[in-house]
């Protein structure tokens, strides 16, 4: 049987892949979207949507605030140090809030909207086994589903398949790796209403560690506990109760009591191998990588989804006009380069920011400890507020203007 032919084949139906597929299909471009999981909930995916990500989704046609899917908006932040209240920061831009949204629900909704277009094909539960070539250029994908193999072809192949990208691995993209010294244990507990107002993101700084805990949907508190890289194996040997006890040693008394009551009611436990890296080039042999496949983010600042969605919009701006007319491979490759050129300044800025806090947390010098303890006073300085405002603007609103132009 002859392979089915598309204009574009996108690997990975995360937010960026699903968003890009929707843009292409709604503009009349024949689009295939391939997702290895048959159930979106079977894979850990970031759930924090910053104002940049919210605006990107809204521009594409997915206004989270008008969608009936599980979500919670964090509009307040409270920070503790060794279990004692430190400061309730009010960073500029946070009035728009951090939206913690169910990724499975969001992705199912986005796919349903894509399926309204006859020129859209969704390959759910299909693994990309390999790529196919024509005259040295990738022209298709070999897919596997239930031990059945078949090929699809496309003029353009795009990898939105995340940090474990098959396309990145198969094509041996060159990587610049910024070694990280932390991992994060993620888990959820019932929301502590007697301790935190609804929609409050909580953080607790401890010697050589940090807990970041946003309010999430379904009346839960998402806990992110930073640990030394590679230390989870030993922690896990001690059992869940042991590492909960470890967290309790330096948390506020109210959270201590709540964790005690929550034992046996912990869900969605996942250990994230934290990394930051970037492909030296985002395209190779006719394949373009976007999002974490091109530039893996760590969780600091909740940027992964947001940056990937903005990648998708810029990619669509450059590729839609080409795909609507006859185009040469050179024109596509030139567009790939322009996409990377446009997105690189923001990606570099965010990754440079992400590299610092985790190192500071794990290696708290006397100076760092002094600054943390006295942040309430220090943050009143006009100079410091200017720096914090610059960081907040990068996290919440990005470095460059991104909007749909097609």
Residues 167, 41 share a domain = yes
Give how many domains the chain has, as a whole number: 2
- 76 in any annotated domain: no
- Out of 248, 272, 296, a domain closes at 272
Residues 14, 137 share a domain = yes
Task: Answer yes or no: is pLDDT of 365 > 90.
Answer: no
- Out of 243, 272, 301, a domain closes at 272
pLDDT tens digits along 150-172: 999 999 999 999 888 999 999 99
Region 243-261 average pLDDT: 86
Residues 186, 170 share a domain = no
Provide the CATH number for the domain around residue 347. 3.50.50.60
- Out of 239, 272, 305, a domain closes at 272
Residues 212, 109 share a domain = no
pLDDT score recorded for residue 299: 77
pLDDT score recorded for residue 90: 74
Residues 49, 115 share a domain = yes
Q: Which residue has the higher pLDDT, 378 or 164?
A: 164
Q: Which residue has the higher pLDDT, 354 or 318?
A: 318
Residues 260, 285 share a domain = no
Q: Which residue has the higher pLDDT, 228 or 375?
A: 228
pLDDT score recorded for residue 250: 85
- 91 in any annotated domain: no
**In which band, very low, low, confident or very high, does the pLDDT at 380 lie, cut at 50, 70 and 90?**
low
Residues 214, 135 share a domain = no
pLDDT tens digits along 287-336: 999 999 999 988 777 788 999 999 999 999 999 999 988 788 999 999 99
- 79 in any annotated domain: no
Task: Answer yes or no: is pLDDT of 274 > 60.
Answer: yes
Rg (C-alpha) for the chain, rounded Å, is 22
Residues 366, 245 share a domain = no
Half-sphere exposure of 77 (CA within 13 A, CB side): 18
Region 66-91 average pLDDT: 87
CA nearest 44: which of 3, 102, 88?
Answer: 102
- 87 in any annotated domain: no
Average pLDDT of the chain to the nearest whole number: 87
> What percent of the chain clears pLDDT 70, i.e. is strictly above it?
90
> Can you give the residue range of the structural domain that contains 217?
182-272
**In which band, very low, low, confident or very high, does the pLDDT at 62 lie, cut at 50, 70 and 90?**
very high
Residues 245, 390 share a domain = no
- 244 in any annotated domain: yes
Question: DSSP 3-state assignment of 202?
Answer: strand
Longest dimension (CA), the chain: 71
Region 345-368 average pLDDT: 73
- 362 in any annotated domain: yes
Cβ-Cβ contacts under 8 Å for 332 (sequence gap 6 or more): 155, 156, 286, 319, 322
CA–CA gap between residue 128 and residue 152 (Å, rounded): 10
pLDDT tens digits along 191-215: 999 889 999 998 888 876 788 899 9
The H-assigned helical ranges of 178-328 are 232-238, 240-248, 253-262, 304-323
- 75 in any annotated domain: no
Residues 121, 25 share a domain = yes
Residues 148, 24 share a domain = yes
**In which band, very low, low, confident or very high, does the pLDDT at 388 lie, cut at 50, 70 and 90?**
low
**In which band, very low, low, confident or very high, does the pLDDT at 229 lie, cut at 50, 70 and 90?**
confident
Question: DSSP 3-state assignment of 266?
Answer: coil
pLDDT score recorded for residue 93: 61
pLDDT tens digits along 30-52: 999 999 998 888 777 778 898 89
Distances, alpha carbon 367 to alpha carbons 87, 258, 371, 387, in Å: 19, 33, 6, 18
- 22 in any annotated domain: yes
Task: Answer yes or no: is pLDDT of 15 > 80.
Answer: yes
Region 333-359 average pLDDT: 88
Residues 291, 147 share a domain = yes
Least confident of 89-98, 257-266, 337-346: 89-98
DSSP 298: P
């Amino acid at each position: 049987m002859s392979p089915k032919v598309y204009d574009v084949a996108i690997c990975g139906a995360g937010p960026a892949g699903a968003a890009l597929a929707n843009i292409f299909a709604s503009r009349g471009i024949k689009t295939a979207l391939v997702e290895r999981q048959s159930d979106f909930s079977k894979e850990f995916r970031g759930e924090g949507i910053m104002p940049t990500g919210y605006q990107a989704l809204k521009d594409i046609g997915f206004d989270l605030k008008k969608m009936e899917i599980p979500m919670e908006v964090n509009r307040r932040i409270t920070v503790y140090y060794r279990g004692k209240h430190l400061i309730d920061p009010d960073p500029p831009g946070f009035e728009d809030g951090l939206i913690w949204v169910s990724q499975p629900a969001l992705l199912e909704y986005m796919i349903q909207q894509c399926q309204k277009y006859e020129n859209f094909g969704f390959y759910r539960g299909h693994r990309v086994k390999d790529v196919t070539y024509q005259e040295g250029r990738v022209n298709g994908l070999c897919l596997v589903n239930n031990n059945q193999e078949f090929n699809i072809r496309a003029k353009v192949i795009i990898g939105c398949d995340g940090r474990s990208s098959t396309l990145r691995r198969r094509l041996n993209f060159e990587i610049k790796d910024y070694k990280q010294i932390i991992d994060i244990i993620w888990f959820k507990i019932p929301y502590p209403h007697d301790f935190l107002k609804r929609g409050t993101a909580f953080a607790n700084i401890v010697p050589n560690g940090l807990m970041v805990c946003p309010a999430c949907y379904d009346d839960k508190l998402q806990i992110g506990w930073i640990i030394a890289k590679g230390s989870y194996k030993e922690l896990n040997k001690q059992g869940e109760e042991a590492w909960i006890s470890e967290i309790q040693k330096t948390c506020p008394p109210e959270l201590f009591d709540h964790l005690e009551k929550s034992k046996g009611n912990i869900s969605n436990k996942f250990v994230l191998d934290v990394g930051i890296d970037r492909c030296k080039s985002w395209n190779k042999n006719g394949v373009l990588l976007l999002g974490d496949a091109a530039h893996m983010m760590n969780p600091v600042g909740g940027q992964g989804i947001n940056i990937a969605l903005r990648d998708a919009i810029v990619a669509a701006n450059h590729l839609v006009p080409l795909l609507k007319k006859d185009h040469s491979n050179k024109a596509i490759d030139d567009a790939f380069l322009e996409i990377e050129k446009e997105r690189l300044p923001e990606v570099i800025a965010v990754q440079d920011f992400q590299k610092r806090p985790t190192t500071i947390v794990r290696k708290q010098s006397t100076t760092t400890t002094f600054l943390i303890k006295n942040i309430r006073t220090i943050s009143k300085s006009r100079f410091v507020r200017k720096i914090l405002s610059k960081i907040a603007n990068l996290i919440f609103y990005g470095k460059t203007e991104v909007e749909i132009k097609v």
